[in-house]
Amino acid sequence: MGETKPMSAHTMEGSAGPPPPAKDGVGRLPVFAGLVLAVTMVLNGPAKAQTDERLRAIGEAYWEAYLQRNPTFATRIGDDRFNASLPDLSVDARRQWEGRLGEFQGTLWRIDRSRLSKEDGLNLELLERSVASEQLKVAAEDPYALLEPLSGPHLGLPLVSVYQPFRDLADYQAYVARLRAFPEQARQVINTLRSGMTIGHTTPRVVVEKVIPQLRAQLVADVTRSELYRAPAMKAKFLSDAQQTEVMADLAEVILGNVMPAYWRLLAFVEDEYLPYCRETIGFGALPNGDRRYRALASHHTTLRVDPLEIHEIGLKEVERIRKEMEGIQARIGFAGSLPQFLDHMRNDPRHRAMSAEQLMQQYGAVLERTKPLMSRLFETLPKADCMVKEMEWFRASSAPMAYYDPPPEDGSRSAYFYINTSAPQERTLFSAEALTYHEALPGHHIQFARVREMNNLPAFRRYARITAYEEGWALYAEGLGKEIGGYQDPDQEFGRLNFEMWRACRLVVDTGIHLKGWTRDRALGYLMDHTAFTPYEVETEVDRYICWPAQALGYKMGELAFREMRRKAEQTLGDAFDLRAFHEALLSAGPMPLDLLERRMNQWIARQKQE
């Protein structure tokens, strides 16, 4: 839920480093070198007069470097300057990025904080935390785990056609150039995985086995059946006849002549060379320094200094608390029997299973539309961008979560998407419709993401920051807000809310169990089956996600607990003067930030409200 891989600001998109200073493929020179020069000039200027300007220049240089490292992310947010490039997934590029992060860190340390305005003091603190968090993530993540079934580059390429603009001839030429870069990216993936093989450092076999059918799905002999061809072909009508002839011929040639052979090479490498060497273990702890690196990732995703073993215990306590609430809804529904029997009943009752993809889309769409007019009850400021349901692309749906949110681009060229996974609809339950909509769309991710994208007063590194505990903690907290706008009147849907809350509590137990306590995949599957009403299909997808993205799942419940505690403190301190809309305004108006900084901000807000 909001399950796209965080990019640290999650992914967040790939593990590429920035390209060397050169043309970006569409005839425009990258501006990073100019920004570095600007930073240097500012650093040499009068310190007192130019401290704020110095910080702004450094922030812009950092963001520019980040976009060059993640060019497809730049496309997703509406920055067209990198539309001809793919991320560099080589080991050298990763090392270059680590070095550049160290340079930014050193530059930030030299800024005199006493000369900054209050707002720029916060900007400096957040930029330092962003750089440090990116350093931690790069150092702790597995550099040899490039092929996985949730966000690997073999899926990233066809997804490009979802976000790439197709407005004129230059857009098509950039897209063709991007496709032409795929063989080199595939070579980088193979070389990186081979490097891991030489030191016995490979991806879990169960993960790679799910990649193979995804690779096969991209292999077509008829170019018109390729996802890479369909989207641009449908929009080519906006070009002149001559331009259509030119770009579609180029597109067919690059797909059949460059992209398909690269996919074949990837498939052959994975099946014949890599899979036999893949490890049978699934936990991060099985890797060199895995325990220490997992702890670092837990800190990255929760923004808290807390031992993951303590998180495991928090999860166990939350599971017990929610079990009691589930027993209450069981009595309300009138089911006689044990709680495990009740969960099995909710899981298997045909009334709770979808019959078709159309039914899923209709149900979620109906919840979203009736929720939209109610948002003013909860918020003082609403985003201008709309949110609409969208069916998840078939080529990634089989291994994807049940839904996720995709923010609108800054240029306003499209709405935000509330993606629904409609694959295997009979394996998907309907009692989660309200909780899932409240989490992914309104009042969850859309309110937070779309609104901050419209805050042009904030620097870009703050508008686009991806902090798992903040964004997912907010969205999980938002599931509970559904009650405050009249949701969950149907006891089945209230059960769905509790089932979702139990799921996030189980994540604390299962993720730490897999990566620190040596749990097997079967034990993890069994734990989720014993405590939730998810189907075996949904549970398997979830557990494999925890294997692919160590510690990311910890940010949800830990973030939600922090949001709930901040609200409890505000209500207790302010009493009848507590204003929910004003409280939410204070939570969201400065954009994403680590939980400790958010708590400090909210304590200051509570103190001001009490004075007034």
* The residue count for the chain: 612
| All structural domains of the chain with their residue ranges | 1-83+90-142
Q: How many angstroms separate the CA atoms of 549 and 569, rounded? A: 33
Residue 379's closest CA among 439, 436, 447? Answer: 447
The whole-number pLDDT of residue 50 equals 60
Indicate if the pLDDT at residue 49 is higher than 60.
Answer: no
> Considering the chain, what is the average pLDDT of its residues?
91
Indicate if the pLDDT at residue 70 is higher than 60.
Answer: yes
The whole-number pLDDT of residue 14 equals 30
pTM of the model: 0.90
The whole-number pLDDT of residue 243 equals 94
Indicate if the pLDDT at residue 108 is higher than 80.
Answer: yes
Question: What is the sign, positive or negative, of the torsion defined by CA atoms of 523, 543, 368, 322?
Answer: positive
Indicate if the pLDDT at residue 11 is higher than 50.
Answer: no
What is the residue whose two structure tokens read 């936990």? 283
Whether 470 and 559 have beta carbons less than 8 Å apart is answered as: yes
| Phi, psi angles (nearest 5°) of residue 65 | -65, -35
The whole-number pLDDT of residue 427 equals 87
Q: How confident is the model at residue 143 (pLDDT cuts 50, 70, 90)?
A: very high
The whole-number pLDDT of residue 135 equals 96
Answer whether the bond into residue 443 is a cis peptide, omega within 30°: yes
Decide: residue 221, CB within 10 A, 0-12 exposed, 13-18 middle, 19+ buried. Answer: exposed
Q: Convert 337-374 to b/e letters by CB count within 10 Å (16 or more is b).
A: eeeeebbeebbeeeebbbeebeebbebbbebbeebeeb
Which tens digits make up the pLDDT trace of 280-335? 999 999 999 999 999 999 999 999 999 999 999 999 999 999 999 999 999 999 99
The whole-number pLDDT of residue 410 equals 79
Q: Half-sphere exposure of 507 toward its Cβ, with a 13 Å CA cutoff?
A: 25
Indicate if the pLDDT at residue 233 is higher than 50.
Answer: yes
Which tens digits make up the pLDDT trace of 585-609? 999 999 999 999 999 999 999 999 9
The whole-number pLDDT of residue 396 equals 78
Q: Half-sphere exposure of 57 toward its Cβ, with a 13 Å CA cutoff?
A: 20
